[in-house]
Amino acid sequence: MATNGSSRFFETLVHSSADIALVADPDGTIRYANAAVALFGYTPDDLVGRNLRDFVHPDDQVSGATNVRAALGAGGSALVEWRIKDRDGMWVPVEESLTDLSDNGDVGGLLISIRDIADRRVAEQALVDTQTRLVVALEASRMAVWEIDFSTQEMVVSPNFHEVYGFTPDRLTGTYLDFLHLVHPDDLELLRRTVRVTGQDDVFALDYRICSPEHGVRMLHGRGRRIRDESGQLSRLHGAVIDVTDERRAERRRLEAEQTFRRTIEATSDGFIGVDAAGLIVNWNASAARIFGWTEAEAVGQRIDDLIVPPELRSAHRSGFSKAVADGQTSLFHAGAVELTGLRADGSRFPVEVSVVIVEQEGGLRFNAFVRDVTERKATEALLARQAITDELTNLPNRALLNDRFQRAKERADSGGRLTLLFVDIDHLNVVNDSLGHDLGDQLIREVADRILGVVPATDTVTRFGGDEFVVLTDSLVAARGASGLAEAILQAIARPYDLAGHRMTPAVTIGVAMAEASDARLDELLRDADIAMYRAKAQGRNRFEFFEITMREQAQQRFELANELRQALDGNGLRLYYQPVVSADGTIVSTEALVRWEHPDRGLIHPGDFIPLAEETGLILPLGQWVLETACRQAVAWRRDLAPTLGMAVNMSVRQLSQPDLVGRMESLLGASGLEPGALCLELTESALMEDPVKSAETLGRLRTLGLSLAIDDFGTGYSSLHYLSRLSVQVLKLDRVFIESLDTEANRAIVGSTIQLARALGMTTVAEGVETAEQRAVLIELGCESLQGFLWSKPVPADAFEQLLRHPGDWSR
Ligand code: C2E
Ligand code: CA
Ligand code: CA
């Protein structure tokens, strides 16, 4: 050991050092040990004089300290790791620095400084363990880590790196440039920039694509940190990378789906409202804003019930909502659309249809509601429901509702009670429609409806049955008034004159009444009976009512059969024309009137009075009238050619024929086809037919006149028209009805007939007296100035061949 001052200093230093210090002879004999050997449980005295070999693990002994010394060379030193046996016999790993002391003066040997490295070994083992775990974790997470040293361009990667990048381990030779070859060309620039950019901190993250040799194009997510040297220059990079291809794809799909969803929601005309489990609005689309009047900004964050549920319904809504939250997906809310009352921003309420979808979301349950304003639909539904049972024009119940009312009236009626049904038909509605237009016709219907309603007790039912028909159903007829009282009241109410757009009208209705015991009343039967009674009333002159009688049903049945037979007669040659002469004052036949007869197979000859009304009702009058016209014209042509060149032919026309739209054209072709000179044909129209629609009649007659034929007023005197009015109808002949002729025996009537004849002549008309039966009548009429005469005095209507005889052999009719 050192004896001089400096040796002493070192000795003290060594002695107090925390590291163990030993000095050994070249043969390994320990000469000195410091106090630190206590670390191994020894005292210096335990060791001095012993050989190192006794303490060093046999495997670690290099063949003795001498050899070590030789290895070190003179004055050399070495660092070795030996295991040293402690006092308890345990091997403790140590790091030893060996220094050759041989050139150090008198004393040769080794200085051995020992540091206990057990802790470091543990730490190192821990590090290895950690690294192993890290590698396992990296593999499991499919995350690779790497480090790049920019000074060498070397790239160190985790063992699983090639798996993440998808290539065989030998492909990456270990440089950054090699790695860059893997990166998708389009992302190379991004990667380079991101890696090198100097940012706030040196952490970076990016997504980039690689062209993976095995998996094709993949999307990777990398994160890393830049390491800089003292001058701030980028020296290294290290980081981790993970394949996110599938995640990104899924994410993109989710985003697209969400975007599609959002766009759809925004575009939908339905309101879309998302509500969280707390009842707060989280979604509110444009349609919701339009429907409720709250903007998205106003609505989101509000309680749904406060915003759009009317106050009186809020508590019900809240409890329903809590229940839905509790029930979750199984909530009844799911059950489809429900109709609720919504509240708008302006405080108004309206019907909404709501369908709710309950979904589980991160923040809990989400109630997605589609909301539709169904105000219009409800209104339409209500309208349709009302229309189904209501007549649109009059707002009265319609036919469909009548049945229901009838059943109720039946149930309500006491035993022995009666039900009464009135069938009310507006007279001549078609005339108003044709002449004044359908709008005014509709107005007339409404007016009639109002007037009927005005007199029928409120508990009874007034229905519009069809075009011009109303049905009144009553079970409450007051005894004093009865059904006839009600019918009378209706007639009177309707007869009040009425101003229809400047046209003064006197509307009228015809009523048929039928009654039945409530207990066995049937609606269809009552309707049929009332209808029959109504027809009877019409036949008797309209503007009146008739009670149904059982005989009417038989008659109706007969009429039905008769109509069928008439149709057959028309088709099968069963009709005949009879002719009655019209003579001048001197007894010459000037013309003839064609009068139709029906030769019935069983009942013989039937006179027109018994079937013309039926033909008019059934519409058969049109083909019948056409047949009469054709036959009469043909006959007239023949007689004028063979027997009487100036003979006139008069044909009766019914009102239905007159209102045919193509009447003038028909007449024109008829004249053309028969070759009859128009002036020889005279059409007879009754005064009442013309008065049904005076305006239209005037027009039609004017047009007929342009064809050159002549027109006669038939049955003059039975109606109420003035001669002055008739003169404006371009009529040439006035046929004085038989009632005048019959009454000629009084002076007063003679005066009336005389002045009528004079007036007619003054207005440019000639007069024909009808039904002249006696020579006296003939004499008076001639004296009064009557130009033509017709009647049994000369001849009854006779078949064509008989009439021909009259033409060939005229009797002496001058007296
Ligand atoms: P009308 O046009 O007034 O025809 C005259 C009617 O008076 C005829 O009855 C005729 O037989 C009858 N008559 C003629 N002279 C006398 C007489 O001196 N005394 C009496 N008591 N009666 C006389 P008819 O043929 O039964 O015709 C009845 C009505 O039938 C006609 O009345 C006419 O309105 C209608 N009618 C006849 N044929 C046709 C026709 O082809 N078409 C249309 N639309 N109506 C017709
Ligand atoms: Ca006539
Ligand atoms: Ca007549």
CB of 608 within 6 A of ligand 1: the answer is yes
Contact 23, 32 (CB under 8 A): yes
Of the given ranges (60-74, 114-128, 461-475), which has the lowest mean pLDDT?
A: 60-74
Q: What are the pLDDT digits (tens) for 683-740?
A: 999 888 887 777 788 889 999 999 999 999 999 887 666 666 777 788 999 999 999 9
H or E, element range at 149: strand 143-149
Q: What are the pLDDT digits (tens) for 3-14?
A: 445 556 666 766
Which of 595, 630, 657 most suits a substitution to test ligand 1, by most atoms within 8 Å of the C-beta? 595
Separation of CA 732 and ligand 2 centre (Å): 14
H or E, element range at 109: none
| Ligand nearest to the backbone CA of 737 | 3
Is residue 400's pLDDT more than 90?
A: no
| Ligand nearest to the backbone CA of 797 | 1
Separation of CA 711 and ligand 1 centre (Å): 17
Contact 812, 793 (CB under 8 A): no
Which of 580, 592, 652, 738 most suits a substitution to test ligand 1, by most atoms within 8 Å of the C-beta? 652
pLDDT value of position 606: 94
Query: Measured at the alpha carbon of residue 411, what is the angle toward residues 405 and 412, in degrees to the nearest 5?
Result: 85
Q: How far apart are CA 210 and CA 183, in angstroms?
A: 4
Q: What are the pLDDT digits (tens) for 603-641?
A: 999 999 999 988 998 899 999 999 999 999 999 999 999
Q: Across the chain, what does the average pLDDT equal?
A: 86
| Ligand nearest to the backbone CA of 689 | 1
Contact 412, 477 (CB under 8 A): no
Of the given ranges (125-129, 463-467, 761-765), which has the lowest mean pLDDT?
A: 125-129
Contact 162, 243 (CB under 8 A): no
CB of 628 within 6 A of ligand 1: the answer is yes
H or E, element range at 774: none
* Coil, strand or helix at 107: coil
* Coil, strand or helix at 707: coil
Separation of CA 595 and ligand 1 centre (Å): 6
> For tokens 């009102």, what's the residue?
655
Is residue 480's pLDDT more than 50?
A: no
CB of 607 within 6 A of ligand 1: the answer is yes
Region 274-303 average pLDDT: 93
E-strand stretches of 727-796 = 733-736, 766-769, 788-789
- Strands 110-116 and 20-24 turn out to be antiparallel
Cβ-Cβ contacts under 8 Å for 272 (sequence gap 6 or more): 265, 283, 284, 285, 287, 288, 368, 369, 370, 371
Region 242-257 average pLDDT: 89
Read off the pTM.
0.50
Cβ-Cβ contacts under 8 Å for 208 (sequence gap 6 or more): 183, 184, 187, 190, 191, 219, 220, 222
The protein residue whose alpha carbon is closest to atom 43 in ligand 1 is 652
Separation of CA 686 and ligand 2 centre (Å): 8
CB of 574 within 6 A of ligand 1: the answer is no
Is the Cα dihedral 446, 449, 454, 458 positive or negative?
negative
Separation of CA 731 and ligand 1 centre (Å): 20
The protein residue whose alpha carbon is closest to atom 27 in ligand 1 is 608
Is residue 121's pLDDT more than 70?
A: no
Q: For the purposes of burial, counting CB atoms within 10 Å of the CB of 7, is it exposed (0-12), middle (13-18) or buried (19 or more)?
A: middle
Q: How far apart are the first and last CA of the chain?
A: 200
Share of the chain above pLDDT 70, in %: 91
CB of 580 within 6 A of ligand 1: the answer is yes
Separation of CA 799 and ligand 3 centre (Å): 19
CB of 773 within 6 A of ligand 1: the answer is yes
Q: Which of ligand 1's atoms lies nearest the C-alpha of 735?
A: 3
Both tokens of 601, joined, read 């197979």
pLDDT value of position 387: 78
The protein residue whose alpha carbon is closest to atom 13 in ligand 1 is 771
pLDDT value of position 2: 38
pLDDT value of position 3: 41
DSSP letter, residue 227? E
> For tokens 């007339």, what's the residue?
444
Confidence of residue 334 (pLDDT cuts 50, 70, 90): low
